[in-house]
Amino acid sequence: MKKSKRSNVDPFIVMDVMEAARKAEQAGKKIIHMEVGQPGTPAPKLANEYITKELKNNSLGYTVTLGLPQLRSRISKLYGDWYNIDLNPERVVITTGSSGGFILSFATLFDAGERVGIGSPGYPSYRQILKAQNLIPVNIETELKNKYQPTTEDIKKNDLNGLLVASPANPTGSMLDKTSLTNLIECSKEHNVSFISDEIYHGIEYDKKAISALEITDNCYVINSFSKYFSMTGWRVGWLIVPEDHVRQVEKVSQNLFICPPHASQITALAALDAKEELDQNVIVYKKNREILLEELPKAGFTTFSPPDGAFYIYVDISKFSNDSLNFCKRVLQEAGVAITPGLDFDQNRGSNTIRFSYARSTENIIEGARRIKEFMLKNF
């Protein structure tokens, strides 16, 4: 039976790293996990208690496609609290994780064959979801001097129909300041380029607050999720904010692709929005972990990277040690018992020279991981 060309997407290598780490643990080895972009904490206690009660009293059938009205309203309030934005809750679409938001955005904004710019290094699933929808991902090779973020020149020279930016970004943790984000949005408008802002790491920032594209324009799509700041990766619930005249179009696509987001996850997310104190404590841990790695990685010889502004990643150039990041990560796992991610997922052309560290786990684990990595580097390089 024939397979479609658009389904021929690349594997997500970090998942292969996870499996190799699992097998090592199964064999009795103690592994320090610095590979996966997943908080080491569960969903907030308040949220877990709430859904436990609801499971006894709620049949959890289909919700309306756009999501529970009370959750949409509560998210609109979040935009008032975080950004001082008066957001119409009718513009909020609850999605099956941020992945559902990307699928809906691409399906609504673009026709087959159109060109969508994505930063490289960048989250690999952008590229694969675009390919699966018969769209053309245009890899924009960003530079360290620009904190690995696209510039207006990238819009002008690439003949784009759309541009997707992430701030804070995966794998670099870099953020766009208001001026840079405004310039990208205005240049996109000037060149008739649809603008999508991935804001799933908002809430996890260190020295300054991340800027939402909605502080600058209503003529954009904004994607967010309960996976990162809200520590709910496995619940698969997120949201999408669209212009008012796009809501019905998005709703029709979502009705047919998803019916609705998971009811239990929406209820849990509703409670998680009130767990600010616990969630901010998680961010304090990430900040401490970041400080540890920024101090310890240079001692191991890793000196070429952009210090992260947010998220929980550090993206490091290892070209002075290796031009085979996959083999390098395999060696670190086998010899040091630390799982890290090769850059191949994030940058198809330059990823063989880079690796990503995630510091989303406990501080104790990060300290031990840094110690093992330094020992490995001193022994081998």
Percent of the chain at pLDDT exceeding 90: 88
Q: Which two tokens stand for residue 261?
A: 């987001």
Confidence of residue 38 (pLDDT cuts 50, 70, 90): confident
Per-residue pLDDT for 13 more than 80?
A: no
Confidence of residue 19 (pLDDT cuts 50, 70, 90): confident
The whole-number pLDDT of residue 280 equals 97
CA distance 92 to 241: 5
Listed in sequence order, the residues at least 6 apart from 138 whose beta carbon sits closer than 8 Å to its beta carbon are 115, 116, 117, 118, 158, 160
Domain residues for the domain of 72 are: 60-274
- What is the arithmetic mean of pLDDT over 64-73? 98
pLDDT in tens, 24-33: 888 889 999 9
Per-residue pLDDT for 368 more than 80?
A: yes
Does one domain contain both 141 and 205?
yes
The pairs formed by 128-135 with CB atoms below 8 angstroms and a separation of 24 or more are 128/9, 128/10, 128/12, 129/99, 129/102, 129/103, 130/106, 131/6, 131/8, 131/9, 132/6, 132/7, 132/9, 133/6, 133/103, 133/106, 133/107, 134/6, 135/106, 135/110
CA distance 190 to 179: 16
Pick the more confident residue, 97 or 16.
97
Does one domain contain both 68 and 212?
yes
Surface-to-core class of residue 347, CB atoms within 10 Å of its CB (0-12 exposed, 13-18 middle, 19+ buried): buried
Per-residue pLDDT for 36 more than 90?
A: no
For the chain, counts of helices (H) and of strands (E): 12, 12
- CATH no. for residue 134? 3.40.640.10
pLDDT in tens, 278-298: 999 999 999 999 999 999 999
Residue 197 falls within a domain, yes or no?
yes
Does one domain contain both 27 and 112?
no
Per-residue pLDDT for 56 more than 90?
A: no
- What is the arithmetic mean of pLDDT over 14-25? 83
Does one domain contain both 187 and 68?
yes
Q: Which two tokens stand for residue 170?
A: 């995966």
Angstrom distances, CA of residue 156 to CA of 29, 38, 112, 117, 223:
51, 35, 21, 11, 24
Does one domain contain both 265 and 321?
no
Residue that has been written with the tokens 């206690």 in this structure:
45
pLDDT in tens, 92-150: 999 999 999 999 999 999 999 999 999 999 999 999 999 999 999 999 999 999 999 99
The whole-number pLDDT of residue 75 equals 98
CA distance 353 to 14: 16
pTM: 0.95
Does one domain contain both 341 and 249?
no
Structural domains in the chain (count): 2
Confidence of residue 6 (pLDDT cuts 50, 70, 90): confident
Listed in sequence order, the residues at least 6 apart from 8 whose beta carbon sits closer than 8 Å to its beta carbon are 131
Q: Helix, strand, or coil here: 122? A: coil
The whole-number pLDDT of residue 101 equals 98
The whole-number pLDDT of residue 102 equals 98
Does one domain contain both 126 and 240?
yes
The whole-number pLDDT of residue 325 equals 95
Residue 52 falls within a domain, yes or no?
no
Per-residue pLDDT for 22 more than 90?
A: no
pLDDT in tens, 151-208: 999 999 999 999 999 999 999 999 999 999 999 999 999 999 999 999 999 999 999 9
CA distance 322 to 376: 14
Confidence of residue 9 (pLDDT cuts 50, 70, 90): confident
Does one domain contain both 121 and 197?
yes
Write down the mean pLDDT value for the chain.
Answer: 95
